[in-house]
Every structure is written in C-alpha cells, then in structure tokens.
Amino acid sequence: MSNDAHLAPGDPTPASDNAAPIDGTATDNSVAVEWRGRVTDDEINVLHAEAFEHRVLDDDWLTPLTTLSLGWVTARDEDELVGFVNVIWDGGVHAFIEDTAVAERVRRRGIGRRLIAVARENATAAGCEWLHVDFDDHLRSFYFDACGFAPTNAGLMRLK
C-alpha cells in the first residue's frame, strides 16, 4: 500500500479532468445521484435494513462516513433516499466499495450502476488507483458486467 499524500476525508472534491460533472447529479431521470450527498443516520438505517434484510438498527453512520471514508454516494427519488454506497479507503491509492444498497421499489433501473460509477469517478479524482469490492455469486453480473469490475483472487476471513 502506498503512503502517497491524498485529500483527507471531508476535503472538497478536486476538479476532474473529465468533461462530465463528477457529482453524478442525474440528468437522465428523476433520481439524483450525488457524491457526498446530504443524508441522515435514520435514512441509511432504514435503507440498509431493507436491502440487507434485517431489523432497522440505530447505527451511527455519519461519524465514520465523515471521519474515515473517502466519501459516499446517495441516490434520491424526489426527497426519499433510494440508494447509498460507502466508499472506504486506506488513505492512499486503494478505495473499497461497501454497503451498496438500492431500495427494492426502484431496482433494475440502473441506479446501482450509477452509484458505483460516481464512486469510481470520485475515487479516481481523489488519487486512488484501485477500487475493490467483494460480493455474493448472484451479483457477478451486476459488478462485472454492469459496473466494470474485473474478477480477481481475494480473501475473506470471518472474525466473529
């Protein structure tokens, strides 16, 4: 892992060489996808519970998001949070996709793909060179075909 200096979490998003806006604001439909969009703990807890099929918890998301993560991406349909992904990082060149979630009622409309695209653009703009993710078998088509990840060897160890 590199020790290159990079933006600290919370620093403004740097300009992109890309002509396309990197805030991901939707222009193609009613769902707005935004890097570091406004969000509350309650909204993430409700969406996460639906997406990962557990009871609604009372987790503090904003503290780790704003102090540890490179950033996060939100998707809003009108005012409702319908998509979220956390982009964690090592402080250097590696960023990691975690907790990708899209509300069931708006799935298969390309929102998940857009969440990952905005995460990718902003991780690149922040100086990251690698974007990692791990997932269950049934999501191979989503991450490999729709989002552009390449298969690789990876390891995972349950700690408790």
Ligand X SMILES: CC(C)(COP(=O)(O)OP(=O)(O)OC[C@H]1O[C@@H](n2cnc3c(N)ncnc32)[C@H](O)[C@@H]1OP(=O)(O)O)[C@@H](O)C(=O)NCCC(=O)NCCS
Residues interacting with ligand X, by CB under 6 A? 51-52, 100-102, 107-113, 135, 138-139, 141-142, 145-146
Q: Which is nearer to ligand X, 2 or 59 (CB)?
A: 59
CB of 73 to ligand X, least distance (A): 11
Beta bridge partners of 86: 72, 98
CB of 4 to ligand X, least distance (A): 27
Provide the strand spans (E) within the chain. 31-35, 71-77, 80-89, 94-102, 130-132
Q: Which is nearer to ligand X, 6 or 117 (CB)?
A: 117
CB of 31 to ligand X, least distance (A): 9
Q: Which is nearer to ligand X, 84 or 89 (CB)?
A: 84
Q: b/e for 57-93, b at 16 or more Cβ within 10 A?
A: eeeebeeebeeebbbbbbbbbeeebbbbbbbbbbbbb
